Structure 1
Amino acid sequence: MKIRYLMLHAYGMGGTIRTVVNQANAMAAAGHQVELVSVVRRREDPQFRLDPRITLSALVDQRGGRRPDSVPRRAWRRLRGKMVPRGEFAADYFTEAVERAVMDYCAGLRDGVLVTTRPALNLISARRTPRSVVRVAQEHMNLSAYPEPILREIARHYGRLDAVTVLTRTNRLEYQRLLPRTPIVQIPNAVHKVDQEPSQQVNPVVVAAGRLVPQKGFDLLIEAFAQVVPEHPEWRLRIFGDGPRRGELTGLVEQHGLGGHVSLPGRTDRLERELSDASVYALSSRFEGLPMVMIEAMTHALPVVAFDCPTGPGDVLRDGVDGVLVPPRDVDALAAALDRVIGDRRLRVRMGREAAKTARAYAPELVMPLWEDLFAQLLHGERVQDDFWGGR
């Protein structure tokens, strides 16, 4: 099969980039002809390993800090593209020239499978990619997280696509209600591997990871941990990741006098080691798609304490079995759950053991063949089933 993946920034970092690259690598390893196309390029080299059989290209080169078209920032709003609606989280990337480059690329295809990986690209593909191409839209975020302009465009245009893939059962049901005539297929992202070094539950460390942005709710986690420290002063919270809210989060740590208890070490290349050295994983997101770092933590036999936010945590975790779910944004409940799990090593060991079992459903050898089956069915014009995945 000829499979093309169209991404916003294949040279960047992030959970979506990593999972799409992993999928492309798996398809190349299975013998398919794979192309990875980046809308923009802002770095010299990809941050994740690419199979050498994959062809990598970019539509718009923005290395060196150049704005596309040499457009000054003050003129950007007048020259922003027309097809990507406001409210798309990456709308700032889509000037007229960037949007035109994507439209021309999609319109120039004639065969194979085109996989687009975010609403902006899904919408352009739905309206510009010829019907001779199998058009698969990946959704990595839950539907309810999108503002009204995006929802209107999804409802208006996604019906032209051959399939929309989502990460969780909750998402599948949401999209089916909005798009009753469109094949909505649930295929979760796969973890890197499931046979990881397990936590020995000896280090008094809670770990969290992700972009330092409001979505991830690390401000709420710091507030909750401030309640935990008086009862468990030997415990530490380590939040890995970079982003625009670092200064604000650092200020919050100082405000609560947590300098000796909470650290923000930045991005790390050794997250697997950090997970195996920890004893609890905390997920404090305001919303999610499918929280892959959480599932990766579970492969290390870490129990999870999480907000039951839309969507993801509740589609993976079994409350009281492999983790603890608390109401979204309820800081006191998050603090109480952390206090309970931190204070009971036997509970952590039991939940961690179950967490590792749960994570096995996301093994690459189980998930990647589902993509091959989906692409093959669509190429042969077969009716697509929406219950590809046998997990939750």
Structure 2
Amino acid sequence: MSLMSSHWAEQGHEVTLLIRQEPVIPPYDLDARVAVHSLGGKERSSRWQRLLEYWKALRRLKQSAALASADVVVANGPWSALLLLMLGRRFKLVICDHNNPRGFGRHTRWLCRLLYPRADALIALTSTQRRYYEAHGYNRLVVQIPNPVNLVPSAGRTRQPIVLAVGRCSHQKGFDLLLAAWHLIRSDVAGWRLSIIGEGELRTQLERQAQELDLGSSVEFLPFSNDLASFYETASLLAVSSRFEGFPLVMLEAQTCGLPIVSFDCDFGPRDIITDQVDGLLCAPEDVGALAKGIKTLIDAPAVRQAMSLVALKTAQAYRMEKVGALWDALFKQLETGR
């Protein structure tokens, strides 16, 4: 919510960003007028330790002066929302799940079905996510508002023979499937390189997989960077191998830089952002062969990549901050007036 927090501060609202865990390091630059506070939580591995952290967070929320004076609270993620729903509150509560609810644990999904109807609004980032919520009886609450993108691309950078992938090295992002797909076509795309940017619990395992597949220098693993634009601008296409998504922001950032995309057609997000065969290619979910074929198709067709690049630039305009911000402004006005 860093981008939206800065936007709201620019609009003259008093904004406080509450972060459950330490350290307080927002992932994007924040407007200086946004106050940032931590609830002092810690990352825990065991279920019981996490439950204890949630209980501590609930106590700290009850004592939060910022929360006591808030008119509207936007909860980012299920457990933030669930904790806030357990409070006796005077503020309006808007829930925004940035990931796929189908990826939540069984108990989390049960609690969401039980408590989410008490919220004042539930944000669906995509039309697919909206239909999911409506199918679960949240019709009264659902408002569709996508994530914004504020990346400003540079001009004049030369595209390199690079297939780019960006995200956390986790089961969700499916980089193991991407490496398997790259293995299928590596010998047919000499001179091209797969660059995977991201950290995470599976990083070492993925590096080992690349070695076992004998991918050599055709694959590189890079740490996360705050200057992703430079990578989007010099790569030739983006590969998205996620098993599931909520709203893959990297796809919008890539399109803002005119990068065509090859992606699994997973729930949710890719099919809402990409028009198949127009500004990218959609492949059957978790189908390694289809992903390999899609990547090779675009590698072999520079004219198609160029045409898709032009369409991608136009697609990204719908997600500019001024357009997404207007949707949030309309929601806040509706919450204020009760209509």
TM-score by length of 1: 0.81
Contact 2:16 2:66 in 1 (8 A): no
What is the deviation of 1:332? 0.3
Contact 2:14 2:34 in 1 (8 A): yes
- Give 1:125's aligned amino acid: L
Aligned ranges for residues 1-392 of structure 1 at < 5 Å?
20-43=1-24, 45-60=25-40, 81=51, 94-105=53-64, 109=68, 111-130=70-89, 132-180=90-138, 182-193=140-151, 195-197=152-154, 202-382=159-339
Contact 2:125 2:147 in 1 (8 A): yes
Contact 2:61 2:67 in 1 (8 A): no
Identity rate of aligned residues, in percent? 34
Distance 1:99 1:250, change over 3 A: same
Contact 1:107 1:128 in 2 (8 A): no
Q: Could you list the per-position Cα deviations for residues 252-289 of structure 1 after superposition, in whole angstroms to 9, with x for gaps in the alignment?
A: 11111112100001112321111100101100000001
What is the deviation of 1:180? 3.8
What is the deviation of 1:103? 4.6
Structure 2: any 5+ residue segments left out of the alignment? none
Distance 1:114 1:129, change over 3 A: farther
Structure-1 separation of matches of 2:30 and 2:255: 25
- Give 1:133's aligned amino acid: F
Instruction: Tell me the number of residue pairs that the alignment of Structure 1 and Structure 2 aligns.
Output: 339
Q: Could you list the per-position Cα deviations for residues 206-227 of structure 1 after superposition, in whole angstroms to 9, with x for gaps in the alignment?
A: 0010111111001111110111
Contact 2:195 2:220 in 1 (8 A): yes
- Give 2:149's aligned amino acid: V
Structure-1 separation of matches of 2:284 and 2:119: 35
Structure-2 separation of matches of 1:313 and 1:290: 8
Q: Could you list the per-position Cα deviations for residues 316-341 of structure 1 after superposition, in whole angstroms to 9, with x for gaps in the alignment?
A: 11100000000000000000111111
Contact 1:201 1:345 in 2 (8 A): no
Structure-1 separation of matches of 2:322 and 2:291: 34
- Give 1:81's aligned amino acid: L
Contact 2:2 2:26 in 1 (8 A): no
What is the deviation of 1:142? 2.2
Q: Could you list the per-position Cα deviations for residues 350-379 of structure 1 after superposition, in whole angstroms to 9, with x for gaps in the alignment?
A: 111111111111111111121111112101
Q: Could you list the per-position Cα deviations for residues 166-190 of structure 1 after superposition, in whole angstroms to 9, with x for gaps in the alignment?
A: 2000111111121345310110000
Report the equivalent of 1:88.
none
Distance 1:32 1:107, change over 3 A: closer
Structure-2 separation of matches of 1:101 and 1:112: 18
**Other structure's SS at 2:115 match:** helix
- Give 2:135's aligned amino acid: R
- Give 2:127's aligned amino acid: R
Structure-2 separation of matches of 1:293 and 1:373: 26
* CA RMSD after TM alignment: 2.2
Structure-1 separation of matches of 2:245 and 2:155: 25
TM-score by length of 2: 0.93
Structure-1 separation of matches of 2:201 and 2:70: 41
What is the deviation of 1:77? 5.4
**Other structure's SS at 2:36 match:** strand
Structure-1 separation of matches of 2:292 and 2:86: 47
